[in-house]
Amino acid sequence: MIVRNFEYLLALYREGHYGNAARICNVSQPTLSSGIRQLEKDMGVEIVRHGRRYDGLTLEGYRVLALAQKMSDDCRALDRELAALRSGFEGELRLGIVPGTTSISPILSAALAEKFPLLQQTISTASPCSLLQGIKSNGLDVALMHLESTCMEDFDTRVLHKERLFLFGCFGLELPASVTWEDVLSRQLCLLASTFSVAVESRLEQSKMRSVVTDSVSVLVSHISTGRFFAVLPQSLANNFLHVANVRAVVITGTPSHCTIALVAGKNSFESASVRAFLEVASSPELAIPVRAIMSIHRRLRAKD
């Protein structure tokens, strides 16, 4: 009932006239007036300046009006979500990803498209800070990123999996089974921007040589193919090197050795219909098979036992 009375208040404020507001709400004027009085009783304040005619709202009335507007917006959003669920789930999912997840995101998108073909997907690539800002400003619904990238206090997170870090490059005839961070930092590196956790970034800052930094996977692959540069990357990106001659993958030992891939959304945003659908797909057992396949490609670039 209080929701209906909020609607009466919104209509009265918009129309500035009891009769017109009642007509908009499809009720009689006494019913609308009674609803406003009941709202004042429930709130314990005078909301409308009472007189023979409508004379505006009180100071407290404007506060109640703001609450009424928010509740009305929330109800409409809920109606849209429920309608989408009933009709086969239409709408849009705005996904942000860091460059280091570009091999995982197509697997998620394909599975989502198969289950919800009417859902429009928009995918953008950015740094962790930009993705979190996009979530805060409602420009993104959810982000696929490394859990260790930044402070997550103001966000909800769901861990998907962990990935091992590898050094990719042309090692020549003697291909080591593993390399230490000290060995990594002594090489000329080409780095994929916005890919690493804070711990990995701190390690890379200790590099003995200047690095080439790019936000493009194809540019990075081109640099590695020259034989001059090496790249530190999560294992899921190994598929980008299958067509490049002489490039091999060597596991990095020491700390850090892994990165955690997670979905990140605003507080309580996992309850929204589109994000909940995405989370459902991302967590489904069926998705484990293609994810394991992409995660195992690095073995084709490893040293033979």
CATH number at residue 23: 1.10.10.10
Question: Based on the domain organization, do 170 and 271 belong to the same domain?
Answer: yes
Question: Based on the domain organization, do 132 and 268 belong to the same domain?
Answer: yes
Question: Based on the domain organization, do 101 and 220 belong to the same domain?
Answer: yes
- Residues 257, 165: contact at Cβ < 8 Å? yes
- Residues 90, 136: contact at Cβ < 8 Å? no
Instruction: State which residues form the domain around 257.
Output: 89-304
Residue-wise pLDDT for 179-202, tens only, equals 999 999 999 999 998 888 888 888
Question: Based on the domain organization, do 48 and 107 belong to the same domain?
Answer: no
Average pLDDT over residues 35-52: 90
Question: Based on the domain organization, do 266 and 124 belong to the same domain?
Answer: yes
- Beta strand pairing status for 212-214 and 142-146? unpaired
pLDDT tops 90 at residue 72 = no
Question: Based on the domain organization, do 173 and 185 belong to the same domain?
Answer: yes
Omega of the bond prior to 256 within 30 degrees of 0, cis? yes
pTM of the predicted protein model: 0.67
**DSSP single-letter state for residue 222:** H
Out of 39, 67, 85, pick the residue that ends a domain.
85
Residue-wise pLDDT for 196-230, tens only, equals 888 888 898 888 888 899 989 999 999 999 999 99
Q: When comparing pLDDT for 148 and 259, which is higher? A: 259
Question: Based on the domain organization, do 43 and 74 belong to the same domain?
Answer: yes
Q: What is the domain-level CATH number for residue 268?
A: 3.40.190.290
Per-residue pLDDT, 218: 93
| Whole-angstrom distance, CA of residue 131 vs CA of residue 205 | 23
> Based on the structure, what is the number of domains in the chain?
2
Out of 59, 85, 111, pick the residue that ends a domain.
85
